Chains A and B, each alone.
Chain A
C-alpha cells in the first residue's frame, strides 16, 4: 500500500518532470525522491503519463481545410504561392518561404493529391523550385549531411521520404533536405552539392514503375528524370548534362 502524495508535492513533481522548476527546488526534490519510494513511484507515474500523452499525434491539417483558411486572407482564386506571378517583390520572399514551409508542415502523410497540372509542367515547377531555393538564404530546411537526420525529418514532416544516401565519397555531399510544394503536393526534396553547384532532387511518391534516367532541360536548368522504389525523381542543377547524369548514376547506385 502506498501512501497518498500531498497535492503540493504532486504539483512539484509534475513541474520537475517538465523541467519547470528552478535548480535549487529541483535538486531538493530529487534528493527527496531518492529517499522516498512512494514519492518516486508517483514521479514515475507522472513521467509515464506525460510520455504517453506526448505520444498522441497532432491532427493532420487537411489541404482542403488549409486552402479554406488561406482563402480567408486572400479571397481571390490565385491562392497557391506557386501560381502567383514570378516577379515577386523582395519583401514577399519571406512570406512565400513561410507559406511554403507551412503548407509542407501540415500536409503530412497521405494527403498527396495527384492533380494533373494544367499550369506549368512538373519540370517547369521543379526548375522554379530549384531557382527559388538558390535565391533563398538557405537551400535547405533541414541542414545536415547526415542522412539519418534528413530522412527522419522528411518522414516527420511529410510521412514519406526517399532514399537519402550521402554521396560525399563520390563527390556529392548531402547538404540537407527541404519540402517543395508543387501544385497541390508537398514533395520531399534532397539537396546535394558538387563543387560549387547545388543539385535538387525532388521525389514524387506514388510511382509504380521503374524508368531509366532521361535527360532534359527546363527553365534554364539541366534535369534528369527517373523512377524507382515508389518515387518519380527529378534532379535539377546548373551542372552540365553529362555531370548531372554522373550524379544520378551515383545516386542510383547508392540508393540500391
Chain B
C-alpha cells in the first residue's frame, strides 16, 4: 500500500476521532499540552499501522492506540504518578473497596451530584486510579458502549462493567465528601 493510500485512510479513520482521542489523553495525562503530545505520538503510530486496520470501530481502534501510547508516555515522563495506580490485580478486587459503608444523607445524594460543578467533577475524576478513570471517561464523557470500551482496553466486558461501577461510585463519593 502506498503512502498516498495510507494518508487517505488516515484522514478517514483517524481525523474524525481526534476529539475523543484528546479527551481520553487529557483525562489520563491531566493537561491539554501533554494530551496533545500523546495524541500526536498516537497519530504517528496510527499512520504507520493504518494499512493493517481490519475494519470495525475506527474509534475503538484509534483510542486503543491512544490509550497504550498514553500509558507508555506516562511511564516515561511520570513514573512516580503511575505508582499510584497500584497493582492491576488489586484494582479489580472488590473487597479492597474501602468506601462501601453507607452514611446518613440529609440531602438525596443524587441531588447533590446533579448540583456539582465542572471543577468538582474534574477533581473527583482525578482521584480515580487510571484503570477506573479510563473506563469512566470512555463511557460517560465520550459515550462509548461497553463493547467498544472492552475493545479499546482489551478487557472482558465484565471487568469493564465492574470498573465503571466502581469508578462512578467513587466519583459520587468524592463529590459528597467535597460537599460535606
CB within 8 Å of A: which of B102-136? 102, 104-105, 108-111, 113-114, 116, 118, 121-122, 125, 136
A131 at the interface (CB under 8 A from B): no
A132 at the interface (CB under 8 A from B): no
Known: A66-B18, A69-B43, A105-B19. A10 touches B169 (CB 8 A): yes
Chain B's nearest CB lies how many Å from the CB of A49? 5
Chain B's nearest CB lies how many Å from the CB of A73? 4
Known: A53-B121, A99-B15. A59 touches B26 (CB 8 A): yes
Question: How many interface residues does chain A have, given as a range?
Answer: 35 or more
B109 near A52: Cβ-Cβ < 8 Å: no
Partner among B16, B109, B111 whose Cβ is within 8 Å of the Cβ of A102: B16
A7 at the interface (CB under 8 A from B): yes
Tell me the dominant secondary structure on chain A's binding face. helix
A59 near B23: Cβ-Cβ < 8 Å: yes
Chain A's nearest CB lies how many Å from the CB of B148? 11
B168 near A58: Cβ-Cβ < 8 Å: no
In the assembly, what is the distance between CA of A62 and CA of B169, in Å?
Answer: 33
A46-63 CB contact bits vs B (8 Å, 1 = yes)? Answer: 111111111111111110
Partner among A7, A45, A54 whose Cβ is within 8 Å of the Cβ of B94: A7
A212 at the interface (CB under 8 A from B): no
Stretch at the interface among B63-71, B81-89, B159-167: B159-167
A59 near B161: Cβ-Cβ < 8 Å: no
Partner among A4, A58, A101, A102 whose Cβ is within 8 Å of the Cβ of B101: A4
Chain A residues near B141 (CB, 8 Å)?
53-54, 56, 58
Chain A's nearest CB lies how many Å from the CB of B113? 4
B11 at the interface (CB under 8 A from A): yes
> Number of residue pairs across A and B with beta carbons under 8 Å?
147
A143 at the interface (CB under 8 A from B): no
A175-209 CB contact bits vs B (8 Å, 1 = yes)? Answer: 00000000000000000000000000000000000
B172 at the interface (CB under 8 A from A): yes
Q: Which residue of A lies closest to B10 (CB)?
A: A73
Chain B's nearest CB lies how many Å from the CB of A187? 19
Chain A's nearest CB lies how many Å from the CB of B49? 13
A4 near B18: Cβ-Cβ < 8 Å: no
Residues of chain B at the chain A interface (Cβ within 8 Å): 6-8, 10-12, 14-16, 18-20, 22-23, 26, 32, 35-36, 39-40, 43-44, 47, 94, 97, 100-102, 104-105, 108-111, 113-114, 116, 118, 121-122, 125, 136, 139-143, 145-146, 161-162, 164-166, 168-169, 171-172, 175
Residues of chain A at the chain B interface (Cβ within 8 Å): 1-4, 7, 10-11, 13-15, 18, 20, 41, 44-62, 65-66, 68-70, 72-74, 94-95, 98-99, 101-102, 105-106
| Chain A to chain B: the 5 pairs with minimum beta-carbon distance, closest first | A53-B140, A48-B110, A73-B7, A44-B110, A48-B113
